[in-house]
Amino acid sequence: MKKRMYALMSVLFVSVFVLAACGGESGDVITLKLADNHPDDYPTVIGDKKFAELVEEKTDGRYKIDVFAGGQLGDEKSVVEQLQLGSIDLTRVNATPLTEFSDDIGVLSLPYLFESEEAKWEHLNGELGQELLDTFEGSKLVGLAFYDSGERSIYNSKKLIKTPEDLKGLKIRVQPSELAISVFEAFGASATPMEYGEVYSAIQTGVLEGGENNFPSYYTSNHYEVAKYFTVNKYTGPPEILMASQKLWDSLSDEDKKAFKEAALESVAVQREAWDKLTQESKEAVIENGNEIFEVTDFAPWREAVEPIYEKYGEQYKEWLDKLNK
Ligand code: GTR
């Protein structure tokens, strides 16, 4: 009996010791902040949390990541600036606002760039994707992985838009980016850059007549309550990007860098699964809530309307467009 007791005690002792060595109680745990502007159960936040869990696991608990969802740490632009300063360690951000921080990444926000979502993901998962993540070098940001954000379309509070002509003069909110403004000007709309969190009340009070986004964002931001008409013209599909601050990156050992990178890439599958599910559910939910949806079948006039964008930005993104045989 005594023997068993001793055995049990030594097992307990060893486990406490191991736990402490893993950082559980040792005080050596480094806690990092990850910012996301979406609500807690949004697919990107599900991805962020998976990433956090995997980092903790792969670094034996030496790194812990606290995920701050719902824009608690600021809007996307200010979060990216805080990453550059090193006061926030990690973020998940959309590629379009990053066009203001990188000369290359904007290629992913060009209208009708890929033939399909499958084609886009083949490139993002391949060499081109990694090369694009590497273009942040020198901007105090480190790109870790791409998350899914599907395709963006247009919505408004006035009427069901069927052709680019119907958009003429409508005040449409775009993401804060030169390129995004140019695209909506090419569609003939009056493009208004604004932070995401301000759009609901701007449409509600009539300052804006609409916006553009994918179904999950349209639904979870409640914009569908104030804009009832959604036109599925899938005009662009900038992915989400999981990023680290250069400051954090430089502080990591090579082995930990590998752990962070692997954790980021492994979290993608979980994020994309949640993405597909919410894309389906959110489309159904906005229809159930009385929204009218127009599914574009003739994309020719939409593609034609944005041809000037390729004239304007063709030179800047030449290297990437060549790689995509565009
Ligand atoms: C969402 C994206 C956000 C933000 C938002 C916007 O689809 O996930 O990060 O960029 O769009 O329109 O501002």
| Cα separation, 163 vs 296, whole angstroms | 8
Q: What is the bridge-based pairing of β-strands 171-174 and 190-193?
A: parallel
* 28-150+238-279 and 152-236+292-324 share one fold: yes
| 8-22, 88-102, 256-270: least confidently modelled range | 8-22
Output the six-digit token pair for 259: 């752990």
| 10-24, 92-106, 136-150, 158-172: least confidently modelled range | 10-24
| Cα separation, 304 vs 186, whole angstroms | 10
Atom of ligand 1 nearest to the CA of 44: 8
pLDDT at 321 over 50: yes
Would you tell me how many other CB atoms lie within 10 Å of the CB of residue 178? 14
Q: Decide: 157 and 228 in contact? Cβ < 8 Å.
A: yes
Q: Decide: 152 and 214 in contact? Cβ < 8 Å.
A: yes
What is the 43 CA–ligand 1 centroid distance (Å)?
A: 12
Q: Which amino acid is at 44?
A: T
**Sheet with 30-35, edge to edge strand ranges:** 63-68, 30-35, 90-94, 240-245, 141-147
pLDDT band at 125 (very low <50, low <70, confident <90, very high): very high
pLDDT at 11 over 80: no
Count of positions (residues) in the chain: 326
Would you tell me how many other CB atoms lie within 10 Å of the CB of residue 323? 15
63-93 b/e (C-beta count within 10 Å ≥ 16 → b): bebebbbebebbbbbebbebbbeeebbbbbb
Q: Decide: 184 and 191 in contact? Cβ < 8 Å.
A: yes
Per-residue model confidence as pLDDT tens digits over 203-232: 999 999 999 999 999 999 999 999 999 999
Residue 10 has a pLDDT of: 53
**Ramachandran angles phi, psi of 281, nearest 5°:** -65, -40
**CA distances (Å), 17 to each of 25, 26, 283, in order?**
9, 10, 51
What is the 13 CA–ligand 1 centroid distance (Å)?
A: 49
Give how far the C-alpha of residue 297 lies from the chain's centroid of Cα atoms, to the nearest Å: 27
What is the 110 CA–ligand 1 centroid distance (Å)?
A: 16
Q: Which CATH code is given to the segment(s) 28-150+238-279?
A: 3.40.190.170
Which of 75, 149, 151 to mutate to test ligand 1, by most ligand atoms within 8 A of the CB atom?
149
Closest residue by Cα to residue 291 from 156, 150, 149: 156
**Sheet with 171-174, edge to edge strand ranges:** 190-193, 171-174, 210-213, 152-156, 229-236, 292-295
* Average pLDDT of span 141-148: 98
> Residue whose CA is closest, atom 10 of ligand 1?
94
Atom of ligand 1 nearest to the CA of 196: 13
Instruction: Report residues whose beta carbon is within 6 angstroms of any ligand 1 atom.
Output: 37, 76, 93-94, 97, 149, 175, 196, 213-214, 217, 240
pLDDT at 3 over 90: no
| Cα separation, 98 vs 176, whole angstroms | 9
pLDDT band at 36 (very low <50, low <70, confident <90, very high): very high
What is the 40 CA–ligand 1 centroid distance (Å)?
A: 15
Question: Tokens 């963006």 sit at which residue?
Answer: 152
pLDDT band at 17 (very low <50, low <70, confident <90, very high): very low
Atom of ligand 1 nearest to the CA of 216: 7
Q: Bridge partners of 153?
A: 213
| pTM greater than 0.85 (yes/no) | yes
> Residue whose CA is closest, atom 6 of ligand 1?
196
Atom of ligand 1 nearest to the CA of 195: 13
pLDDT band at 14 (very low <50, low <70, confident <90, very high): very low
Q: Decide: 268 and 147 in contact? Cβ < 8 Å.
A: yes
65 conformational bin, left if phi > 0, alpha if psi -120 to 50, beta if neither: beta
DSSP 164: G
Q: Decide: 30 and 64 in contact? Cβ < 8 Å.
A: yes
Residue 16 has a pLDDT of: 45
Per-residue model confidence as pLDDT tens digits over 253-298: 999 999 999 999 999 999 999 999 999 999 999 999 999 999 999 9
Residue 33 has a pLDDT of: 98
Q: Is 140 helix (H, G, I), strand (E, B) or coil?
A: coil
Range 152-236+292-324 classified under CATH 3.40.190.170: yes
Residue 252 has a pLDDT of: 98
**Ramachandran angles phi, psi of 18, nearest 5°:** -60, -45
pLDDT band at 27 (very low <50, low <70, confident <90, very high): low
| Helices of type H across 22-145 | 43-58, 76-85, 117-124, 127-134
What is the 106 CA–ligand 1 centroid distance (Å)?
A: 15
Which of 146, 175, 214, 242 to mutate to test ligand 1, by most ligand atoms within 8 A of the CB atom?
175
Domain residue extents for the chain: 28-150+238-279, 152-236+292-324
| Cα separation, 312 vs 182, whole angstroms | 9
What is the 246 CA–ligand 1 centroid distance (Å)?
A: 23
